[in-house]
Chain A
Amino acid sequence: MKTDIDTAVSSMELPDDPISYFYELDNTYFSVTSNTFVGQIMSQFNLQNIADLAEAGNDYPQLSQEAIISANPQMIFLADTKCCQQDAKSVASRPGWNKIDAVTNGNVVELDDDVASRWGPRVVDLVKQVAAAVAKFVETSKK
């Protein structure tokens, strides 16, 4: 499986500058730091987690909306599409969130809860989805 991940990463063009992202676990803005396995996968793609600024020791911090909007992530990954019925549209309709770059540029990625939260054979699907999203980001930002 590790080789699959490596293949996915090396086969695409990574951006020069790290891309900031917010990983949403649920609709009360629980997130993951890059110490978690999901976070580590993201880091492989040169993605920088805005939750890393939270205090050390807590790998699943709950972020405040002010912090998220202020950090202005370029990508948002939704891991609460199933549990909490969130999607790109619902995120855009949250008051204040339409000022975030990820939302204005259409870089809100809807992941499958089950795929995104468990370490298992389906992790490859997650990696492929992330790779595709990053690739799209790089494409659109070139224009």
Chain B
Amino acid sequence: MRRWWIPAAGALALASVLLGAMVGPAGPSWWRVPLALLDHLPLVSIDSGVTPREWTIIWDIRMPRVVLAALVGSMLSLSGASYQGVFRNPLVDPYLLGVAAGAGLGATLVFTLNRTGSSTWIIDPLPLSAFAGGLLAVLVTYVVGTAFGGQKSASTLVLAGVAVTALATAVQTFVLQRHTDVVRQVYSWILGRLSSATWGDVRLVLPYVVVSSVVLFLHRRLLDIMRVGDDEATALGASVNRVRIVVVIAATLGTSAVVAVSGLIGFVGIIVPHAVRLLAGASYRVIVPLSLLMGASFLIIADIPGRVLQNPSETPIGVVTAFLGAPFFLLLLRTRQGTR
């Protein structure tokens, strides 16, 4: 049953990484890049004609950015697919339970506090605050969602998520209104950025993405069982609430980590799983691995125009994904019209 999807997606992901490394606003000619990369392998020596400054562009600026794009893209897509599974709604995104609003608020607070001339911190407070904000928001959502009526159903969680998002956004707006001088910085963060990606960022994010991905991957068969509803899934022997909590925790952990480093990149978490669903069917055993791989390719490729179109300046990645998002949903509308 279409076993070639996954290897094909894997090959596409590798090709995207290579493409991302070869294309850029500055640096050496594109064909020199693979040569330079090969040259730096332990036992290989090739004259690629790349200067030290050009190599620094490839290895210190471009590669971490491409790798980070892959990690962020795959994590957001995988989280989106998993959320869609536990909430049984194909239009859900990884920011559903308040991660985005919480992280945004955390980032805003850091930007505003910095202004008052606080001493230099030992660790960068921005990703930490965004990460904590994201996690806290989901925690509050869960507490609120289960406190009222004690029902742990999917819809009460979603409602709680809406409430928490609204509250966090309101507080953020209020704070920004009183500190208009940081509006540009906050807005730029919200639009998402891969432009300052370093290998340090990659190392920071990697463990969370790996742990989260492994957990979510293990749950792919269970997500299929959730498709028949909480009642029947329970009658079939699945511990529905436990699955939901674990999946939400894992997805939130990974999403918060990537949001902390790359800001709020929208649409990826909906577009990719949905496109996978249209292409390869509705079974989560397929959607989960494919979303991971295609998400990586998607964001790497989506990042390319932002880098080269307005040379030497950049278009934030969040703008690019938004431009892709709108036509995608229109296309979705048209195909649904056709099938009904």
Interface residues of A, Cβ cutoff 8 Å to B: 26-30, 50-51, 53-55, 58, 61-72, 82-85, 94-96, 99
Contact string against A for B residues 27-66, beta-carbon threshold 8 Å, 1 for contact and 0 otherwise: 1000000000000000000000000110011001110100
Taking the closest CB of chain B, its distance from the CB of A74, in whole angstroms, is 14
Known A28-B195, A69-B26, A95-B198; contact A61-B52, beta-carbon cutoff 8 A? no
> How far apart are the CA atoms of A10 and B311 in the complex, in Å?
35
Q: Mark B184-228, 1 if CB is under 8 A from A, else 0.
A: 110010000101101110000000000000000000000000000
Q: Is there an interface contact between B52 and A65, defined as CB atoms closer than 8 Å?
A: no
- B119: nearest chain-A partner, CB-CB: A85
Task: Check B338 for interface membership: any CB of A closer than 8 A.
Answer: no
Given contacts A26-B185, A69-B56, contact A53 B64 (CB under 8 A): no
User: Given A29-B196, A95-B198, does the pair A83, B114 have CB atoms closer than 8 Å?
Assistant: yes
Whether B61 lies near A95 (C-beta < 8 A) is: yes
Question: Interface of B with A (CB < 8 Å)?
Answer: 24-27, 52-53, 56-57, 60-62, 64, 114-115, 117, 120, 184-185, 188, 193, 195-196, 198-200, 307, 310-314, 316
Specify which chain A residues have a CB less than 8 angstroms from the CB of B62 in the assembled complex.
66
Contacts of A66 in B (CB 8 A): 24-27, 57, 61-62, 307
Q: Are A27 and B196 neighbours in the complex by a CB distance under 8 Å? A: yes
Q: Which residues of B contact A82 (CB under 8 A)?
A: 117
In angstroms, Cα B110 to Cα A85, docked, is 13
> Could you tell me if A65 and B120 are in contact, using CB atoms closer than 8 angstroms?
no
B61, B184, B311: the one within 8 Å of A69 (CB): B61
A51 in contact with B312 (CB, 8 Å): yes
A121 to B312, CA, bound (A): 33
The 7 lowest CB-CB distance pairs between A and B, nearest first, are A67-B312, A70-B26, A96-B60, A61-B313, A95-B60, A66-B26, A96-B56
* Bound CA–CA A55/B198 (angstroms): 27
A contact residues around B185 at 8 Å (CB): 26, 28, 83
Max count, chain B CB within 10 A of own CB: residue among A27, A50, A64, A82: A64
| Minimum C-beta distance from A59 to chain B (A) | 11
Known A-B contacts A26-B185, A29-B196, A85-B120; A72 and B313 likewise in contact (beta carbons under 8 Å): no
Complex CA gap A55/B57 in Å reads: 22
A55-B61 contact given A26-B185, A28-B195, A65-B196, CB 8 Å threshold: no
Residues of A within 8 A of B311 (CB): 53, 64, 67
Instruction: Flag if B196 contacts A28 (CB, 8 Å).
Output: yes
Known contacts A28-B193, A64-B311, A99 near B188 by CB under 8 Å: no
The interface residues of chain A lying within 8 Å CB-to-CB of B52 are 99
Inter-chain CA distance A99–B50, complex, in Å, is 14
Q: Which residues of B contact A62 (CB under 8 A)?
A: 188, 195, 313-314, 316
Q: With A and B bound together, what is the CA distance between A44 and B188 in angstroms?
A: 31
- Return the chain A residue nearest B193 by Cβ: A28
Chain A residues whose CB sits within 8 angstroms of the CB of B24 once the complex forms: 66
The reply to whether B117 and A71 contact each other, CB–CB distance below 8 Å, is no
Contact B312 A96 (CB under 8 A): no
Residues of the B chain whose Cβ atoms lie less than 8 Å from the Cβ of A71:
26, 312
Can you name 11 A-B residue pairings with CB atoms under 8 Å? A28-B196, A54-B313, A61-B312, A61-B313, A64-B312, A67-B26, A67-B311, A69-B26, A70-B25, A70-B27, A83-B114
Tell me the minimal C-beta distance from A76 to chain B in angstroms: 15
Chain A residue nearest to B198 (CB atoms) is A95
Contacts A30-B184, A83-B185 known; 14 new A-B pairs at CB < 8 A? A30-B188, A51-B313, A55-B313, A61-B313, A62-B314, A64-B307, A65-B196, A69-B26, A69-B56, A84-B114, A95-B60, A96-B57, A96-B61, A99-B52
B306, closest chain A residue (CB)? A64
